[in-house]
Structure formats: C-alpha cells, structure tokens
Structure 1
Amino acid sequence: MNLFDFALVTGMKEEFDELRKHLPPLVPISDNPSEIWYRTTMSSKDNTKRYSVIIGYQSQMGGLEAALLTEAIIKKWQPSYIILTGIAGSLHESVKLGHIIVAQQVFYYDMGKAAAENKIQYRPQGYPCSVTLIRQAELISSGKFNWLQEAVKSAKSKAKKLKKKDPEKNAPVIDALNAHQPRVHFGTVASGSLVIASKEKKDELRSLHGKIIGCEMEGAGVMHAAFYRETPTNAIVVKSISDNADEQKTQTDDQGTWRQMALENSSRFVAELITSNYFRALNTGLFELNPASQGPGPARDKIQQRVTPGMGSFLSFEQLVMLHGPAVSLTIGISASGAAGALNILQGVAIYTDKDQNIHKVPFTDNHVELNGGLYPKPVGLYLMIAGTASEIKFKVSTWSMEKQISWKSNK
C-alpha cells in the first residue's frame, strides 16, 4: 500500500537546498540518528487535491548511494511516484544551458569490458521511466506555466546583476540570460559513475545511443532500486542542464550562473509537475471524525475487564476516525468529564487496520494512544472503560496532515 504520493530525491545537498525553496515548509522526521527525512503537503492548483511528499538527499554523489537511498524510501515510505531531480550535463547540441531534460529511459553505461588499447567495450543497461510521469511532464512542458515564467524572470534578474558587476567580461552570459527560454527535452539520459567533462567521452557516449540528451550520476541507481522489484515503483529523472559536459565544465561551474539557473529550473518544474492537478491523490492522513457511541456492549467485549458497579462505565466509538486515505501514523487524545469534573481512563482499546490489512488491537491506560507503522483507510475504533459516568468526552485526533477535535455528550 502506498503511503506517500511522491518521493523527491536529490544527489547533492545543494540540489536539496534549492528544491526546498520551491516547496511548502518542510518538516524533518527521524527515528534513526543516521536517517533524516523531510515531509510536506502540496495542494493542486485548484485546491481540490492534497499530495503528500517525502524528500531525501544523498550524503554522497553516485549511483550506489542513489540506489541505497531509493531502496530505503520504498521500504519505509512506499511512495506512488519517485522523482530524481537536480542538475545534469548536456549531451546534445539542441539541449542548452538551463533547459529541462525528462528521461524516457535511463541508460546505465558503467557496465562493460576493458579491452585492448585502454578501450572500453560498453555493455549498457536501460531502465524505462514511468509512462505516467512522462505524460504528465509533457502536459506542462509547453504553454504559459509558472515554472517557465519564473525561469525567464530569474534569468533577466541575473543578467542585470552581471551587467552591473562587469558588463564587458560577462557580455556572452548576459546575452544568453536575456534570451533564456528554457525548453523541455524528452529522451534517453546517460547515467554512470563519471563526471563527464570531455568532448571525447561525450562523443563516445553519444555513439552508443542515438537519443541521448544528457548525462548525470544518480539516475541508474534510482531506477534500478525502483524497477527491480516484484511491483516496480513509478520513477523518473527530471533535471536541468548546468554544463555542456565538455572541457569548459569547470569554468562554467565556477562562473556559477548557469549552475544556479539549472538548480532553480529543475526545482520549479518538479514543483509544478506535482501540483498540476493531473495526479490522483492518495489523501494520506486526511480524515473525518464520528463521535457517535454504540453504548457499553462492544467496549465490554473488547476490554473484557470488570469494574465495580457505580465505579466505572464503558463506551464504544466503533467509527471514531474515518480515514479518507492511508496514514503514516495516528494519535488520539481523550479527556473525559462527569458531573464532578475530570475522569480517568481506566482502560482503553484502539482497533485499526494496518497497511498490510491486518487488524490490530492496541490497549492503553493513558489519556492518549498512538498508532504507528502505516494505517489502511478503514475506520479506527475506540473502546473505553472510564472511572465514573462520563457526561462528555473530548477527542483530539492528529496525523501528519491534519488535526481535529470533536466531543461526545451524554443524552442523560
């Protein structure tokens, strides 16, 4: 069962730092000191859908780190879609600095044979990207979308700053920024362990496949982790061009403008892709509350503990929480009161269905209960044994996505 709509992956901290600027505020989460994740919720443009998003970045560049990170994301968070984003090098003359590349296939070129005269006989492997993500990217690849307008605006702003700094030295970059109208290219992306900064190596890779549009280092790892599973996870590589993968790469990177432009463009494009309203939302963590009580009978059956007459009472709320979608976790706070004031919860039981559709019975003796590990979208029931006769019970229910309060009041 999918718990998150999207997982976003970046290969470098600088890619993550730029990406978060284009997303709603991120909340860090961790139950392991060696793992820190970030989550957020994004609304569709028409505000009819809410998408749950988990974000992770690699501690080191490369395909192995990408594979390990993606495997951890799938195992722990089970997203519907995975998007690798960041910056890349161009392998085609039509793919200019700042342009977007969307992988239809990731071409893993590291596999090969070391032959005579230091030549490599490549034995590449291909990974197909998600058709759904490709089609949705195509829908926003042209027209007056926010990512494109913001890219043009940012490029002109950078041109003005460079013109003030040193107009003569920066003239070629200034002209290119003023003319910047980033295109979106769909094709094959080469992925491997090398940082490509050589026209010779660039031409060598292009000779292996006729539709290679860009190169980067993490795509093969992400796609391998997503693809080689009993049920593959939809995944794609969406990046922006920061250099031409030639001898000028270091100079282009050091100048900084196009690297920053690419970081921004890929982040903007991915953010708009998610919020485009074309995806069905899981409704993770969304719920309604139903305080209707089914009386003492079901609670007596579930708790199976007796109380001295006049010293306690039972109440059942079999559909207290009506989940609209899956939930990563759920917390229920309970406060009971009677004619004389606050009442203690002597015993309680929460019953829910986990992400694998197993039914769990969770006993508690406090005024709150936490349900973790993933919840299937079925009603969550609460059964209480209270120290006295309650006239009112207040419930405070929260997930990562929302928090609600509601009260039950006795008719007597």
Structure 2
Amino acid sequence: MFKNLKQIIMPLAGLLRELEFGKYLKGEDFENYLLKNKLIKIWSDNKLHSIAQIGKSQSDISLIIFMNVLNEYLNKDVYTIEQKQILTNNINFLIIKFFEFYIKKENLKKNYSELITELENLSNEGLIYQDTIKDIKNLIDKKEYKEIIVTMESQNIENFQEQFDYAIITALEEDEMEKVLPLIQKEGEIKDSEHLIEFGYVKGMPNKRVVYASQHSTGIIDAGILSAELLLRFRPKYLIMVGVLGGEPKETKIGDVIVATKVFTIDKGKYSDLGFQREGNYSSIQSIELKKIARSKLDIENYINGNDPTRSSKIQVHFGPIATVNQVIDIKGYFEKEITPIERKAIALEMESFAVVRACELVNRGTKPLIIKSVMDNTQGKTDNAKTYAAWTSAKTLEYLLLNDII
C-alpha cells in the first residue's frame, strides 16, 4: 500500500503542522474518536506526565498525544493488509476532521496550494485518498471570508509577527505608494498607530502576506521611525523600500531601476579649522535574495519594457551603492563633486534608504532590507515630470519579484 511507513512520518507531521489543528482541537473530541476506534489504551499509555502539562493548553496536549499515537502506528515493523487499511482510514478521517476544525476558525484568506501539494505527495505514497483531497478542496472552496479591520488590542502581536513576510515602505503616498497599492488585496488596517498601516496579501497569492505604509514626510528621520515601528510590531522577513531617486548622470537614465548593494551618508563628520572632514557611515546589503535579483536582471527588464511599449528608450536595472542625503539636490556636477569621491561606485542618491537598512541592523537583524528605487532625475535640471513613471518602474520590479517567487 505504501513503501516505507517510517519515511512518511516527517511529511505527515509537517502536513499536520500546516493545518495548525493543535490550536483548535479539543481534548475530549479527540478522546471520543480514540474510544470509538478502540485506541484508548494507546491514548492512556501516552498521557503526558502532570509536570509536562504545566503551561500547556488542552489543545496543545491533544496535539502532542496525537503525534505520540501516530508515532506508535508508524514505528511498527510489521503490518498486515488489514492493519495498513485501518491506519490509512484513520489518518484520512483525522486529516479531514482537523482541517474542519482549522478552517472554521480561520478568518484570513490563505493560499493552500502547498497543503494540497503535500496531500498529493502523500497520496502517491498510498497514505492519503483522493477523496480526502477532494473533501478538503471543497472545504476551502466553500469558505467565505470577510474583510477584517483589526486593532492591535484585539490581536496577539505574535500572530501579526507570524503573518507577514513582507513590509513595504515608501517615502511618499502620492505616486510611490499609489503604484504599490494595485499589487495588494487589502484586508484591514492597524488602528493604534500615527501612521496609516494597512495589511493584506499580493493579489492572486494569498500566501504572500504584506503590511505596508508610507511616511508622513520625506527624509531620513521619518524613514527611521516608520521602519522601526514596522520591525518592532511585525518582524517581517523583508523590509522593502520602493519609490524614486536621483541617478548618477553618466550611468543612468529616467526610469532605470536601482537596487542598492550598499547605502551610505555623506553628512557625518567634523568641522575644524581645516574645514569639514567627512566620516564614512556605511551599511551593506548582502543577501541571497540580492543575488537572485541580479540573476533575474534581464527578465525584470523585459517584464517592465514589455508592459510599456510606448517608450523607445528601454529601462535597465542597475546594482550599486546609494547615497542618502538630507537635501533635495538640483546642482549640475554635484554627484561628481560630492558623491563619487566618497564612493566611486555610487549609482544614485536619495533621502531615506540608509535609515531603512540601519533600522534592520539595530532593531531586528532577522529582517532583510531591500531598496528598489527608480531614477526620476539626474540631480540636475530637476522637475517632477518623470516621478510617476519612475515610481511605476520601481513598483513593476517589485511586482515581478513577488509574482515569480524571487523573494
């Protein structure tokens, strides 16, 4: 019926964890099932010692006991055909019942594709019936979700920390966040913040859950404050800043996308009789994801250019250091005079990114920062005419990365 029972214990345990049934299963429900199927002796033999039960809810205890019962089954060396059939029937029954417990309590829409894939894999081993998969798919299809406005007081903050892989931040609501919003299916907002912090998921991908907000004002201070709040509240896997910046005049053109490999400031230093002596203030961005983005460079460019056939000048994706400054720069030759001598490979400048990356370093090193901004000007002859287009190419880059599981 199935090849090796010991080989399937881990994927089955993973499946049960995916269902999170331990959170909702009542001990007496499970015990009734065991009594009905004459398994109460195994249940009794695996009762937790009283000391081990301290601090655990009844549902947690039920989950542990069930796993012990499951181990008891799966570690038997000899099975008759009848025993294998009973085991398979029991597991299929439990999987359906546990999923019923789970989905009745679930209020937030999720992508269950990984769960279905895991069930299909176990079906290939002969452990899960196709009818079981069909029943679970029906439960998913019939589930209705309502848009929820959530306050932090009514939810345990740990739940939020588990829910969001992505936190997206922009310096501006107009243009920058406006171009991000079409990517996201909103589900609610956080009520006890001075910022408008909303949450939801990437459209068409409910498993990619997102929390997002824009700054009240541009600049490094507001960027640091908002970044710290998102990191402390949600501890996302990624903190992503998108938007617009000024590009290095000789290397970039309007709409080009800049992915930061390093961020640095140019304002820190010391004034003396010798004048202003600058001090380097750097933060590097090093991650596997950055390499994956680099490998996808041509695909990203084709994706953006393919969605905008009206432009004869095709955009490019660049990787390099970005300078963070405290002023809007509109001076010819400024980049070559003030930025390049500090960092010869610098590719762009703007007013926020250093604070975003530094916040990850100081507040939660488990969060990976990503800076993805597009060129709206070349720091000279400045106008806002290209801001909308640059914000769009930045958002389309993020869209490609999310939809294609690059991050």
Q: TM-score, normalised by structure 1?
A: 0.56
For residues 348-367 of structure 1, what are the structure 2 equivalents within 5 Å?
none
Residue 114 (structure 1) shift: 2.7
SS at match of 1:73: helix
Q: CA–CA distance in 2 between the matches of 1:15 and 1:110? A: 28
The 2-side partners of 1:33 and 1:56 are apart by 11
Q: Given the alignment, which residue of 98, 102, 111 partners 2:255? A: 98
Partner residue, 2:198 = 38
Q: Using the alignment, how far apart are the partners of 1:240 and 1:58 within structure 2?
A: 18
Which secondary structure state, in structure 1, belongs to the residue aligned with residue 404 of structure 2? coil
- Alpha-carbon distance in structure 2 between the residues aligned to 1:184 and 1:200: 23
2:404 counterpart letter in structure 1: S
CA contact (8 A) 1:3 1:78 kept: no
Contact 2:231 2:363 in 1 (8 A): no
Q: Structure 2: how far apart are the matches of 1:218 and 1:211? A: 19
- Aligned partner of 1:264: which letter? W
Counterpart-to-counterpart distance in 2, 1:220 and 1:197: 20
2:339 maps to what in 1? 205
List gaps (5 residues or longer) in structure 1: 157-177, 280-412
Q: Could you say what secondary structure the match of 1:26 adopts?
A: strand
Q: Which amino acid in structure 1 is aligned with residue 340 of structure 2?
A: R
In the superposition, relative to structure 1, how do residues 148 and 220 fare at CA in structure 2: closer, same or farther (>3 Å)?
same
Cα distance between partner residues in 1 of 2:244 and 2:288? 22
Aligned equivalent of 2:305? 148
State whether residues 8 and 82 of structure 1, in contact with CA within 8 Å, keep that contact through their aligned partners in structure 2. Answer: yes
From the superposition, tell whether residues 273 and 192 of structure 1 become closer, same or farther in structure 2 (CA, over 3 Å): same
Task: Tell me whether 1:61 sits opposite 2:218 in the alignment.
Answer: yes
Q: Which residue of 2 aligns with 1:77?
A: 234
Query: In 1, Cα distance between the equivalents of 2:280 and 2:332?
Result: 20
Pair 1:92–1:124, CA change in 2 (3 A): farther
**Separation (CA, whole Å) in 1 of partners of 2:260 and 2:272:** 30
1:130/1:43 Cα in 2 relative to 1: closer, same or farther (>3 Å)? farther
- Could you give the per-residue CA deviations for residues 239-296 of structure 1, whole angstroms, max 9, x where no partner exists? 00000112x01xx32xx1x2221011001111211222234xxxxxxxxxxxxxxxxx
Q: What does 1:109-148 align with in structure 2 at a 5 Å threshold?
A: 109-116=266-273, 119-143=275-299, 145-148=302-305
Aligned twin of 1:383:
none
Separation in 1 of the partners of 2:316 and 2:255? 8
CA distance in structure 1 between the aligned counterparts of 2:388 and 2:352, rounded to whole angstroms = 19
Q: List aligned pairs for 1:178-193, cutoff 5 A.
A: 178-193=311-326
The count of corresponding residues between Structure 1 and Structure 2 is: 245
Aligned partner of 2:347: which letter?
A: I
Cα offset, 1:41, TM superposition: 1.1
Matched residue SS, 1:199: coil
Cα distance in 2 between the residues matched to 1:5 and 1:103 = 20
The answer to whether the aligner puts 1:243 opposite 2:377 as a matched pair is yes
Mapping of 1:361-380 within 5 angstroms?
A: none
Query: Given the alignment of the two structures, is residue 265 of structure 1 paired with residue 405 of structure 2, yes or no?
Result: no
In 2 relative to 1, CA 2–93 (structure 1 residues): closer, same or farther, beyond 3 Å?
farther
The code of the aligned residue for 1:261 comes to Y
- Shift of residue 186, structure 1, vs aligned partner: 0.3
- Residues 85-136 of structure 1, C-alpha deviation per residue, up to 9 Å, x if partnerless? 100001241111110000000112221123458x532212111114233123
- Judge conservation of contact 1:110–1:124 (CA < 8 Å) in 2: no
SS for the counterpart of 2:185 is: coil
1:18 paired with 2:174, answer: no
In the TM superposition, residue 21 of structure 1 has moved relative to its aligned partner by 4.4
Following superposition, the deviation at residue 22 of structure 1 comes to 3.6
Letter in 2 for 1:125: N
Indicate if the aligned counterparts of 1:109 and 1:192 stay in contact, CA closer than 8 A: yes
Structure 1 residue aligned with 2:19: none
Name 1:314's counterpart in structure 2.
none
Describe the superposition over 1:336-355 as per-residue Cα deviations: whole angstroms up to 9, x where unpaired: xxxxxxxxxxxxxxxxxxxx
TM-score (structure 2 length as normaliser): 0.56
SS at match of 2:322: strand
Cα distance, 1:214 vs structure 2:
0.2
* Correspondence 1:278 to 2:399: no
Q: Find the aligned partners of 2:166 and 2:269 in 1 and give their Cα distance.
A: 34
- CA distance, structure 2, for counterparts of residue 89 and residue 61 of structure 1: 14
Task: Report how far residue 149 of structure 1 moved.
Answer: 1.3
- When the two chains are superposed, the root-mean-square deviation of aligned CA atoms in Å is 2.2
The 8 Å contact of residues 133 and 235 in structure 1, kept in 2 or not, is answered as no
| Superposition deviation, residue 80 in structure 1 | 0.2
Task: Show the counterpart of 1:50.
Answer: 207
CA distance in structure 1 between the aligned counterparts of 2:297 and 2:351, rounded to whole angstroms? 24
**Partner-residue secondary structure (3-state), 1:40:** strand
What do residues 199-255 of structure 1 show as CA deviations (whole Å, max 9, x unaligned)? 343221111111100001010110111112463420021100000112x01xx32xx
Alpha-carbon contact 2:231-2:364 (below 8 Å) kept: no
- Runs of 4 or more, structure 1, over 4 Å off, are none
- Give the letter for the 2:251 counterpart: S
d(CA) in 2 for partners of 1:259, 1:43: 25
360, 365, 368: which is aligned to 1:231?
Answer: 365
> 1:89–1:216: 8 Å Cα contact kept in structure 2?
yes
Is residue 12–residue 59 contact of structure 1 (8 Å, CA) maintained in 2?
Answer: yes
For the 8 Å contact 1:87–1:240, the answer to whether it is kept is: yes
CA contact (8 A) 1:22 1:268 kept: no
Q: Distance in 2 between matches of 1:97 and 1:116?
A: 41
Q: In 1, Cα distance between the equivalents of 2:179 and 2:280?
A: 31
Matched letter for residue 41 of structure 1: Y
More helix by share: 2
